[in-house]
Amino acid sequence: MMTIKVGLLGLGTVGTGVVRIVEGHQEDLKRQTGTGLVIEKVLVQDLTKNRSIALDRGKLTNRPEDIISNPEIDVVIEVMGGIEPTKGFILQAIENGKHIVTANKDLMAMHGPEIMARAAEKGCDVFYEASVAGGIPIIRTLIEGFSSDRITKIMGIVNGTTNYILTKMSKEGADYGEVLREAQQLGYAEADPTSDVEGLDAARKMTILATLGFRTDVTLSDVSVKGISRVSKEDIAYGKRLGYEVKLLGIAERVDDQISVSVQPTMIKKSHPLASVNGVYNAVYVYGEAVGETMFYGPGAGEMPTATSIVADLVAVVKNHRLGVNGRTVNIAYNEKKLQTDEQITSKYYILLHVADKAGVLAKITQVFADNEVSLESVNQQPNPVNPMAEIIIITHQANQASMKRVLKVFDELEVVQEIKSVYRVEG
């Protein structure tokens, strides 16, 4: 029986999980692939560090070239993260004819097309299932499961940290800052949580999902991003009264070959399946013209869920190798990118205004919407004993983004409007 030798770049939490699965599931992997799988070399920073797994120290190296230039290694698994020097390592490994499995969402979001094009030239596989939504097989589903369908919308909770924070705020009525500190203490949020809470992590993942779903080269700069740091417990409480939960949603839509991609806190109907996805779990909702609506749910991070996706990609590489088709399944975007304008992007909106508590104010507010051809679904005035101003909650019907920007500009200049407290997209 032939043996495929694997080089592993990184031995942190996820890398450790990969070693556990490859070495602990040898018989299952042999039956699936007809091939032996061996971890040949592992790149680490500290050769003397005590580790939670028993690994032959002779397999450890602190020299990247021992893996990327090693003629005996067939597949390189990258779990070290970051852009540089990681990108250089991967491109050099491809140049040397090695297949790549990576969990690096930042790298694939920013340099995926370049890496995939080079892999296609060299006849190498590049798989990156673990880069989005941890243990959920969403990337393979978009590439293979929807290959005969036309995806019109992808909507997902793809960041566990923000979903944990918003879930706690919803269930306990707690403040954002209080829950963020708790998430940091539990290890769900980093000491510097900016990438998560400001939506940047989710934006990178949506870049990947939109590129695959729409078969076009979506870049990070194409994604409109707004994080959760300004979401208040009042927003969540008001939303619940109206039948909504607040979630940080990545939303990619295609209408008549024109696309839009965004990440933003969103009011989503409690009856929608995504509204009940809580804690650190992820879920991706996919709309296909033929299949209709589907949802994929599961753990979005963690040692073993992420490692499971990586090893599944490794199995795919080995199967391709046995069939002699490595490099032929590289997913190259073939559709021209056409971005929707503000006039074409439409949704319902939730707006919370603090206004002067006097006669005639509501009429002025509704007239602004009428002047900009935005119709209203509901208007509610909420009493708030700690706020001397009146609080008006508005849910619009479908409106385009350009009209809403004009409405908000007028409100910003209107004397009776003290503050535009919140504006959220509404889904479901």
Helix (H) or strand (E) holding 48: none
Q: Distance (Å, rounded) from C-alpha 157 to C-alpha 155?
A: 7
Catalytic pick among 168, 205, 226, 247? 205
Helix (H, G, I), strand (E, B) or coil at 274: helix
What is the CA angle 86-2-66, rounded to 5? 30
Q: Please, are residues 139 and 129 in contact by the beta-carbon 8 Å criterion?
A: yes
Would you state the structure tokens that stand for residue 105, as one six-digit string?
A: 């969402």
For every residue of 224-259, DSSP letters joined together read EE--STT--HHHHHHHHHTTEEEEEEEEEEEETTEE
The CA dihedral of 125, 130, 136, 137, to the nearest 10 degrees, is 0
Q: Distance (Å, rounded) from C-alpha 60 to C-alpha 68?
A: 14
Name the β-bridge partners of 258.
Answer: 255
Helix (H, G, I), strand (E, B) or coil at 302: coil
Q: Residue ranges of the alpha helices (H) in 291-334?
A: 303-323
Best CA proximity match to 193, nearest among 177, 173, 170: 177
Burial of 247 (C-beta count, 10 Å sphere; 0-12/13-18/19+): buried
Q: Please, are residues 314 and 6 in contact by the beta-carbon 8 Å criterion?
A: yes
What are the backbone angles phi and psi of residue 245, rounded to the nearest 5°?
-110, 150
Beta carbons within 8 Å of 225's beta carbon, 6+ residues apart = 198, 199, 200, 202, 203, 262, 263, 264
Q: How far is CA 275 from CA 62, 143, 184, 271, 395, in A?
A: 45, 26, 24, 7, 18
What is the CA angle 333-329-127, rounded to 5? 85
Q: Distance (Å, rounded) from C-alpha 2 to C-alpha 17?
A: 24
Preceding omega of 383 cis (within 30 degrees of 0): no
Name the DSSP letter for residue 129. G
The reply to whether 205 belongs to the active site is yes
Name the DSSP letter for residue 382. E
Catalytic residues: 205
